[in-house]
Amino acid sequence: MKASYHWWQTDVVYQIYPRSFQDSNGDGIGDLPGIRQRLDYLQWLGIDAIWLSPIFPSPMADFGYDVANYVDVDPMFGTLAELDQLVSEAHQRGMRVLLDLVPNHSSDEHPWFVAARSSRDNPYRDWYIWRDPAPDGGPPNNWLSHFGGPAWSLDHTTGQYYLHLFDPKQADLNWRNPAVRQAIYDAMRFWFARGIDGFRIDVIWMLIKHPDLPDNPPDPQWKPGQPEQHRLLRRHDQHQPEVHAIIREMRMVADEYQDRVLIGEIYLPIDDLVAYYGENLDGVHLPFNFNLVTLGEWNAHAIRELVEHYERALPPGGWPNWVLGNHDQPRIASRLGQPMARLAQMLLLTLRGTPTLYYGDELGMEDVPIPAELVVDPQGIRTPGHGRDPERTPMQWDATPGAGFTTGTPWLPIAADYATRNVTRQQDDPQSMLVLTHHLLELRQASAALNRGSYATVATSEPDLFAYLRRAGGEQILVILNMGATPVTLDLSSVGPTGTIAASTGMQRTGHVTLDAIMLDAVEGLVIAIDEE
């Protein structure tokens, strides 16, 4: 039965922020040989595919999201040969490797932009988005950078403004130009030919802008004191209808190769998000579903409504996916606290669809406060207090100096709790977050119901309970999550008379249970294999 599913439907994806995963040469920055050293750990954990945040040559104004060459590796991370070796060794372990493609913008140091800004009639000029100043000499419109401030910078050499929806050193490419599209597609082919299994595509919903570049309207929900970049509704600089034709072209490139995957970064509400599967499932294979990350209220009712809404909205044949954290968002343990983070991990790994884990979340790593003088994230520098450094700190491997991450000075501070919250210690603790994650991943791989089965909500009378059933063939798995602060006892005999506890968030409860009086402690989750009648 499993053969009828693609690997990206049944595998678990693990995001690695290369700067922070493992430093192999003592310079304080993680690298490709370091990742290769940790493949055995990832295999033990139960990871099937790793996604690497950008490793391309870059001035590092936005730590690799400002690409200066789409078809090479930055020496900071290693060499092209070392990436090939990493891919080869991952494949030998049955693991896939995905790269982070950044097609919306390039570095201002990319040869394309260097040529484009040299003169108005340069052949590369139309590879980027240029406009004359407004009558008052200011920017052409009111668009704002996601990092704060105007989304336009004046190029004094040619007297025009260029668009950058992020840092001024990240010039937006003009995706209405066929030459730009061809160049990025050729870069995709370069990596596919080297054995890369797919791409996570950065800000894919922003590739096309309104052709007339009109002003964005004000956001009536914005209040003084909130980040300035949220002051306007992003009506005209993202999510334009023409973007879907571009994505179809990208998909055609991926389909030239066997069983490759495209995952799109898309921060949109569910009803807009699902359009990125394509009208005929010819868009990205997995439009990233960040709705658990952006959910305003973390409670049973809100999560149940979200899951049911998503399941209803999926197009026929569309495969779901779920995310709890990434390099741009506060860590789940900091958002919800350690007990609820364990419950969230159980949710992530038992819902229908492909889960993506962020490195360190399997340990319950938390955001690290970064002193102002050590802030390096351009968003944090331009919008103090709203940076992304806290969730990008080094992986905590052991209790040695440098947390086993580096023998040098780490590029970001290591968490104060590294001596007690680390891989070595948690591997030896049968009730740790790491062992829970490992167990859930093992269970997911061994269970057809969890790996690829159907989803159905199970009604309960308890407002703090979220319960659902996963089914495949004759196998039934019941997941019960108590998100409340008090214990509950409930009757779920409608699902079946008895079952066996396959996992508990506390890693303490096991054994046979009757379903007419199931007790859950406060903030506890259970995975129960229903006995066949």
Active site residues per annotation: 202, 265
Contact (CB, 8 A) for 278 and 313: no
Residue 455 token pair: 């989803």
Q: How far, in Å, CA of 453 to CA of 518, rounded?
A: 24
Q: What angle do CA 457, 461, 463 make, to 5 degrees?
A: 85
Question: What is the torsional sign of CA 100, 104, 108, 113?
Answer: positive
Give residues with Cβ within 8 angstroms of 462, minimum separation 6.
300, 482, 484, 488, 490
Q: How far lies 455's CA from each of 288, 471, 515, in Å?
A: 19, 7, 19
Beta bridge partners of 154: 161
Contact (CB, 8 A) for 202 and 102: yes
Q: Cα-atom radius of gyration of the chain, to the nearest Å?
A: 24
Name the strands in the sheet holding 152-155, side by side, starting at the edge strand that comes first in the sequence: 130-131, 160-163, 152-155
Query: To the nearest 10°, the Cα dihedral for 460, 461, 463, 466?
Result: -10
Give residues with Cβ within 8 angstroms of 448, minimum separation 6.
1, 2, 472, 473, 475
Q: How far, in Å, CA of 444 to CA of 345, rounded?
A: 12
The SS3 assignment for 312 reads helix
Q: How far, in Å, CA of 533 to CA of 405, rounded?
A: 51
3-class SS shares of the chain: helix, strand, coil, % to 5: 30, 20, 50
Within 144-298, strands assigned E span 152-155, 160-163, 170-172, 198-201, 261-264, 286-287
Residue type, 152: W
* Burial class of 27 by CB neighbour count within 10 A (0 to 12, 13 to 18, 19+): middle
CA 409 to chain CA mean position, Å:
27
519 phi, psi to nearest 5 deg: -105, 135
Q: How far, in Å, CA of 514 to CA of 517, rounded?
A: 7
The SS3 assignment for 248 reads helix
Contact (CB, 8 A) for 394 and 358: no
- What DSSP state is assigned to residue 300? H
Contact (CB, 8 A) for 492 and 478: yes
